[in-house]
């Protein structure tokens, strides 16, 4: 189970990191481009280390005002630099705390763009490989990011979302859609157990498609987030599914 964290900024607090970290196994920590700042980054790494949670970088487009959710027209070379800059900063915070950066997961619009754009996906994969070839690239299952990780020679973890609906092509339903987010905690938990045990996801139009899942994303800033996590963790454990950091099993 992974969660986007460290998205507070200055005097503004976002999310329930101190509670959420108790129920996850990997943290995607904002690196200052869409949210977060040096103080928040340091604090969030401390939280992850204290709770035995894998530390991951959550880089984005340089879009603090838009929370990284606006697509930007930038070159693959620029994207590589954005990734190295942000992940490298978080890597330093982890190192001085005796921890190791486990993974990199793009945020928001950058994640969505890389899911369907080969050049963007490749730029991110190359940046991660050049920074540290032992890092895990967290990718949307079945996306261009997964293909890029294989081509570059990176380890990768295929991700599915507990609280988001999917289109039939495997992409996430846009947040502008009223049904983009699944708000019922029990429904989200049961959905994830079915995905892991059957290898299939039901799309918003009623169709289904195959998927392999290594990690489940839960959002810490949605209504009832902690309840989502508690119910999901319980449902997984009752189904005999063990929750551990992805670095422990992704080879």
pLDDT single digits (tens) 231-247 = 899 999 999 999 988 98
pLDDT given for residue 219 in this prediction: 78
pLDDT single digits (tens) 158-203 = 999 888 899 998 888 988 898 888 888 888 888 899 999 999 998 9
Mean pLDDT is highest, among 109-113, 210-214, 215-219, for 109-113
pLDDT given for residue 214 in this prediction: 94
CB distance 57 to 27 below 8 Å: no
For the chain, which residues make up each domain, given as ranges?
2-242
pLDDT single digits (tens) 128-165 = 999 999 999 999 988 999 999 999 999 999 999 888 89
Q: Which CATH number, 3.30.2130.30, 3.40.50.720, 3.20.20.370, 3.40.1190.20, labels domain 2-242?
A: 3.20.20.370
pLDDT single digits (tens) 3-34 = 999 999 999 998 889 999 999 999 999 999 99
- What is the arithmetic mean of pLDDT over 44-72? 97
Q: What is the pTM of this model?
A: 0.92
């Amino acid at each position: 189970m992974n969660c986007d964290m460290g998205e507070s900024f200055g005097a503004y607090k976002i999310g329930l990191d101190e509670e959420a970290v108790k129920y996850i196994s990997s943290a995607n920590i904002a690196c200052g481009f869409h949210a977060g700042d040096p103080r928040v980054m340091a604090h969030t790494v401390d939280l992850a280390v204290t709770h035995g949670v894998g530390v991951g970088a959550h880089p984005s487009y340089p879009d603090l005002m838009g929370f990284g959710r606006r697509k930007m027209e930038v070159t693959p070379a620029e994207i590589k630099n954005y990734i190295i800059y942000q992940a490298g900063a978080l890597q330093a915070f982890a190192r001085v705390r005796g921890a190791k950066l486990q993974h990199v997961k793009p945020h928001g619009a950058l994640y969505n763009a890389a899911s369907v754009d080969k050049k963007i996906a490749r730029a991110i994969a190359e940046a991660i490989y050049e920074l540290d070839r032992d890092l895990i690239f967290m990718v949307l299952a079945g996306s261009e990011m997964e293909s890029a990780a294989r081509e570059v020679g990176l380890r990768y973890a295929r991700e599915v979302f507990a609280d988001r609906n999917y289109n039939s092509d495997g992409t996430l339903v846009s947040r502008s859609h009223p049904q983009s987010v699944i708000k019922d905690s029990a429904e989200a938990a049961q959905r994830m157990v079915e995905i892991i045990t059957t290898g299939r996801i039901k799309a918003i139009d009623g169709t289904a498609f195959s998927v392999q899942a290594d990690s489940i994303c839960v959002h810490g800033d949605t209504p009832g987030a902690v309840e989502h996590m508690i119910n999901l963790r319980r449902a997984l454990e009752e189904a005999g599914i063990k929750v551990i950091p992805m670095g422990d099993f992704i080879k």
